[in-house]
Amino acid sequence: MPGNSIGQMFRVTTFGESHGVAIGGVIDGCPPGIELNEAIIQRQLDRRKPGSNRYTTARREADAVRILSGVFEGKTTGTPIGIVIENTDQRSRDYSNIMHTYRPGHADITYDAKYGFRDYRGGGRSSARETAVRVAAGAIAMQVLSQQGIEIRAAMTQMGSIQAQQYDWQAVNDNPFFFPDTQQLDALDALIRELKKAGDSVGAKIQVEAHGVPAGWGEPVFDRLDADLAHSLMSINAVKAVAIGDGFDVVSQRGSEHRDEITPQGFVSNHAGGVLGGISTSQPIVAHIALKPTSSISVPGRSITAQGEACEVVTKGRHDPCVGIRAVPIAEAMMAITLLDHYLRQRGQNAEVSQPWQFS
């Protein structure tokens, strides 16, 4: 209810501020008997780690996860999994410049409005640092889903005006942009350099997919699979839009064009993005998200102080010119968390049900 948990049957609760002692969380509802250890989680964490390449922030956190409970002799026990990641790189610094001013595009002003005051060191709770815990939870969810033959993958498909023209999913994890079109890596590199020079930033678009999800997951009418995905993906820092399947393109489509026809071998197309009536169809689940440009830039901007007086703000420090890059593993994690939740819900509710038809 206070908003730091997500999921019903598979429930993830996070805590922690960017410059506090540690971040962490509780992953509750993981079925028992699943192989799990710190290395499995660490593998995902390392993908979103700051400082992992020169295109993202230079801040270096070990991001070393500790599993405190819920795992015994290498397997989950069914009890809650407590995890902690210490904040090792909390440089002692002078916050006086942001302490009493509101950085435009940041949550400084809204946290003050909501809570009356805030932890002004870095982004506090609003920092993307919190998402490390989500990635850890997602890694656990993927362990369970992979046993069901489900694979989740994501890629950055656009940065600024540079769009992927080709989708080579093999290439995605081999370049620092998680970009599926290797022809444009030089252009991306040039854009990042230009932005760093200008002290500016740019937005990005991410595509995230799940393959192998059977038909029948999702709870009408409010907790539709797509509605829950919209919730979980929009909860990622900086995300401003979520689309399922053809997304906003459906506005100009005709019904005869949009509907995915069905044959005994399966669906002919996937405009729906794998969800009909809020329930999975067995097509791949496909979602797209838009991430706004990083708000922490060194281009001066007008703002006000906590006393309501005009001031100018320049954000110094180590920041990604494009937060979208690091959001790729986060998007995968959120999709995994939401899918596992719906798998367990479906299993509880309709365990004894079998669908009439099978594709050949």
Residue positions in the annotated binding site for NADP(+)? Answer: 48, 54
Please identify which residue in 50, 180, 245, 284 interacts with a copy of itself, judged by CB under 8 A.
Answer: 245
Asked whether the beta carbons of 86 and 79 are under 8 A apart, the reply is no
Dig out the tokens for 16 from the structure. 């922690």
Asked if residue 295 binds a copy of itself (CB under 8 A), the reply is yes
State in angstroms the smallest separation of the CB of 186 from a copy of itself: 19
The site map against a copy of itself for 264-283 (x = CB under 8 A) is: x---x--xxx-xxxxxxxx-
Asked if residue 39 binds a copy of itself (CB under 8 A), the reply is no
CA 134 – CA 11 distance, rounded (Å) = 11
Cβ-based nearer residue to a copy of itself, 126 or 175: 126
Cβ-based nearer residue to a copy of itself, 73 or 170: 73
Please identify which residue in 155, 228, 284, 329 interacts with a copy of itself, judged by CB under 8 A.
Answer: 228
Asked if residue 254 binds a copy of itself (CB under 8 A), the reply is yes
Region binding a copy of itself by CB under 8 A among candidate stretches 9-17, 47-55, 88-96, 164-172: 9-17
Region binding a copy of itself by CB under 8 A among candidate stretches 52-60, 91-99, 122-130, 172-180: 122-130
Asked if residue 92 binds a copy of itself (CB under 8 A), the reply is no
Cβ-based nearer residue to a copy of itself, 157 or 175: 157
Residues that contact a copy of itself, how many (by CB under 8 A): 169
Q: Which residues contact 117 (CB under 8 A, 6 or more apart)?
A: none
Q: Is the peptide bond before 65 cis (omega within 30 degrees of 0)?
A: no
Asked if residue 116 binds a copy of itself (CB under 8 A), the reply is yes
Asked if residue 318 binds a copy of itself (CB under 8 A), the reply is no
Asked if residue 241 binds a copy of itself (CB under 8 A), the reply is yes
Cβ-based nearer residue to a copy of itself, 170 or 360: 360
Side-chain half-sphere CA neighbours of 320 within 13 A: 29
Cβ-based nearer residue to a copy of itself, 148 or 174: 148
| 31-to-20, 27, 144 alpha-carbon distances in Å | 31, 11, 8
Cβ-based nearer residue to a copy of itself, 47 or 219: 219
Q: How does DSSP assign 256-289, residue by residue?
A: HHHS--EETTEES--TT-SEETTEE-SSPEEEEE
CA 320 – CA 95 distance, rounded (Å) = 19
Dig out the tokens for 173 from the structure. 């994890």
Looking only at residues 162 through 191 of this chain, which bind a copy of itself when binding is defined by CB under 8 A? Answer: none
Please identify which residue in 42, 59, 90, 104 interacts with a copy of itself, judged by CB under 8 A.
Answer: 104
Q: Which amino acid is at 70?
A: G
Q: Which residues contact 356 (CB under 8 A, 6 or more apart)?
A: none
State in angstroms the smallest separation of the CB of 170 from a copy of itself: 24
CA 204 – CA 106 distance, rounded (Å) = 18
State in angstroms the smallest separation of the CB of 4 from a copy of itself: 5
Q: In 3-state terms, what secondary structure has residue 86?
A: strand
Cβ-based nearer residue to a copy of itself, 45 or 286: 286
Cβ-based nearer residue to a copy of itself, 4 or 170: 4
Q: What own/partner pairs with CB < 8 Å and gap ≥ 24 does 119-124 have?
A: 119/17, 119/19, 119/20, 120/95, 121/17, 121/18, 121/19, 121/20, 121/90, 121/95, 122/17, 122/18, 122/19, 123/18, 124/17, 124/18, 124/19
Asked if residue 212 binds a copy of itself (CB under 8 A), the reply is no
Asked if residue 256 binds a copy of itself (CB under 8 A), the reply is yes
Region binding a copy of itself by CB under 8 A among candidate stretches 39-47, 50-58, 173-181, 286-294: 286-294
State in angstroms the smallest separation of the CB of 165 from a copy of itself: 15
Question: Backbone phi, then psi, for 219, in 5-degree steps?
Answer: -120, 105
**Residue 56 class from Cβ within 10 Å (0-12 exposed, 13-18 middle, 19+ buried)?**
buried
